[in-house]
Structures are given as structure tokens and as C-alpha cells.
Amino acid sequence: MFKKYIKESYIQFSEESGEIVVDKLFVDALQRGLKLGYELLKIALDHARTLNLNLSLYAESDEPDSISNDKLVEYYSDFGFESDSDCDQLMTYFI
């Protein structure tokens, strides 16, 4: 398992079943709006590219009062993730 920080924000990811899985992406409330989420995702994506593995995640909000699951799906789609045909929240960035 890998955990990378940018100040108080972090991404945690691991290799599972032949892909890199984002287990947790957390952006501190004081750092939101600074594109740190994308910067953290780029760290995991670079790791996935190095191993030639897809990057996947499940878009579920830990703070539904501040961001909905639908908004997270949109956020990750803007980054380049694609939703699974059976579940919008199950998303993959194909390498």
C-alpha cells in the first residue's frame, strides 16, 4: 500500500487484481479548490503507468454534505476516469 501526502491532503492506493486501486483520496478542507485532488490522482496515475496497470476507484463521498457521489463521478470523469456500465461509481482510468 502506498500513501502520498501534499501537506495535510493525501492519496492512498494499492495494487490489487492486476490494477492500481485508489483506496482513499482526502483533500483537507483548508486546501480545497487548489486542484490538489488532481495532483494526488496524478501521483497514483504515474505509478499505474509505470507498472502498465489501469487505475480504478469507487467514487463514494465520506462527506455527502460537502460533495455528493454524483459530483464525485463528474470530478473523476473530468480527470479521465470512465464509469463501469453497471455502476457509475465504479470507475477506471484505462492505461
23-33 pLDDT, tens digit each? 999 999 999 99
- CATH number of the domain enclosing 73: 3.40.630.30
Query: Residue 22's beta-bridge partner residues?
Result: 13
% of the chain with per-residue pLDDT over 90: 95
Which grid cell sits at 78?
473530468
75 CB contacts (<8 Å, ≥6 apart)? 37, 59, 67
pTM of the model: 0.93
For residue 69, give its domain range.
Answer: 2-93
In the chain, the number of structural domains is 1
| The pLDDT of residue 95 is above 90 | yes
Which grid cell sits at 80?
479521465
45-74 pLDDT, tens digit each? 999 999 999 999 999 999 888 899 999 999
% of the chain with per-residue pLDDT over 70: 100
Secondary structure (3-state) at 23: strand
